[in-house]
Amino acid sequence: MKPVAKGNKPRTLVNCLLIGLAASLFMYGCAGDEKTAKGKKLYHHYCSHCHGDSGQQGEGFNWDRMPDPRPKNLASNAEMSTFSDKEIFDTIYRDMRDTEDPKVLDDDNYFAVSTMPTFKYTLSEEEIWGIVAHVRTLHGMSLSYDVPGRKKELEEVFQAAKPEMESTQAAYEAATEKAEAAQEAYEETLTDEQLEDYEYEEITLPEEAAFLIANEKFNKAKAGVDYFSKRPKKTRIERPDLTISEADLAQQVELGKKLYTDTYGCNGCHSINDIGGLVGPTLDRAGVRLNPTWVFRWIKNPQAMKKRTRMPNLGASDADARALTYYLGTLRAPISTAPIPDPE
Ligand code: HEC
Ligand code: HEC
């Protein structure tokens, strides 16, 4: 038997396990760090202008221009430790809502308002968890939410929705076939004359309703899985029909103006007549400078038109985007440069 040189012991199973464990801990740590690093980058791109790189009040260049209520100090452990990870996530990942809606005001859990834009339609759920992890570091905490567990939960919802959709679909198809056969059999009993006057009456099958419900659930569950790690799809926005009567226009402009501040918080980032945020360009001449079809498409999906724009997709419905477009169309401030003096 060859003597084993000192310092060159053969690896035992325990050794290998320990090395494996250390490696996986290292990799787990790295994956976590990588997510936080990505979250930090995203925070700097999408949040710093309002919240500041360190989360301090008054630090972001847009701070003074934001309407009230202004953000809390994200760097304060005393203020921020009262929020759970999920509550911070929900502030960033939600729908924009009208805070004048009593249902919203009555909801104690609802603390987000329209001055904070949503990123639900811009970033993936996983990216937002990365951002939450970074926000936690700003006040000396770390993320404790089980992100892989959430992913698994979505997967399970999807696995449960699939057979339900398939069975209701099969039942719907069978019922359709049966109804069609019955219809044909009935039509065969009619004379040519009767057939001429005969009007086919569409019947709704109860199986259809059941299938539609299950199918919607399935699609939602599938989107949940698909968009956990992927950003929302950049769907092509159809050319809107923006023709409108004078009478309707006035009412739409009024609605658009309300949506602009109260629901979507556009004023947090854009100024009109020097009031409002500085993150995006001033919109006080939008009605002269911008094509309404372009504006509609931009509001519906800015990322589809400019990938890295800081303007998030706010999830505006077609009707809301239309009203906002009409409103922006009325903004026709004169060019603000001082008039050129008369040569005389
Ligand atoms: C247009 C400016 C603006 C941008 C951009 C913005 N926020 Fe905010 N944020 C606000 C405002 C204003 C509030 C306060 C809302 C309130 O008090 O209800 C807020 C609230 C918050 C809160 C809850 C703390 C509080 O004050 O109630 C968190 C957390 C937060 N933002 C994180 C983020 C993150 C992360 C991003 C980037 C992905 C971001 N925000 C982007 C303006 C902004
Ligand atoms: C978080 C900040 C933010 C919010 C909220 C926001 N925008 Fe913007 N917006 C921007 C930025 C930044 C740009 C510049 C786009 C670019 O070039 O990347 C922009 C560009 C635009 C433009 C094009 C302006 C031009 O002169 O080219 C329009 C129109 C516009 N936004 C409308 C809106 C409307 C309407 C809302 C509310 C529904 C809104 N924005 C909400 C940041 C924001």
Give the position of tokens 């770390």.
142
Q: Mutation test of ligand 2: which of 123, 269, 314 has the most ligand atoms closer than 8 Å to its C-beta?
A: 269
What is the Å distance from ligand 1's center to 219 Cα?
Answer: 31
- Angstrom distance (rounded) from CA 130 to CA 42: 9
What is the Å distance from ligand 2's center to 127 Cα?
Answer: 22
- Angstrom distance (rounded) from CA 320 to CA 259: 7
DSSP letter at 83 equals S
φ, ψ for residue 289, nearest 5 deg: -85, -30
- Identify the pLDDT of residue 97: 67
Contacting residues for 249 by C-beta, under 8 A, at least 6 apart:
326
What is the Å distance from ligand 2's center to 270 Cα?
Answer: 7
Beta bridge partners of 275: 272
Instruction: Say what the pTM is.
Output: 0.82
**Residue 290 burial (C-beta neighbours within 10 Å; 0-12, 13-18, 19+):** middle
Structural tokens at position 138: 């700003």
- Identify the pLDDT of residue 96: 82
Atom of ligand 1 nearest to the CA of 277: 1
Structural tokens at position 331: 């903004």
Structural tokens at position 118: 């949503």
Q: Mutation test of ligand 1: which of 45, 50, 98 has the most ligand atoms closer than 8 Å to its C-beta?
A: 50
Q: What is the pLDDT of residues 192-225, one digit of tens each?
A: 999 888 887 788 899 999 999 999 999 999 999 9
- Ligand 2, CB within 6 Å, residue ranges: 117, 264-266, 268-270, 279-281, 283, 286, 290, 295, 298-299, 306, 309-312, 314, 316, 324, 328
Atom of ligand 1 nearest to the CA of 70: 12
- Identify the pLDDT of residue 18: 45
Length in residues, the chain:
344
pLDDT lower than 50: segments of the chain:
1-30, 111-112
Q: Indicate which residue's Cα is closest to atom 13 of ligand 2.
A: 280
- Identify the pLDDT of residue 95: 85
Q: What is the pLDDT of residues 258-315, one digit of tens each?
A: 999 988 999 999 999 999 999 999 999 999 999 999 999 999 999 999 999 999 999 9
DSSP letter at 271 equals E
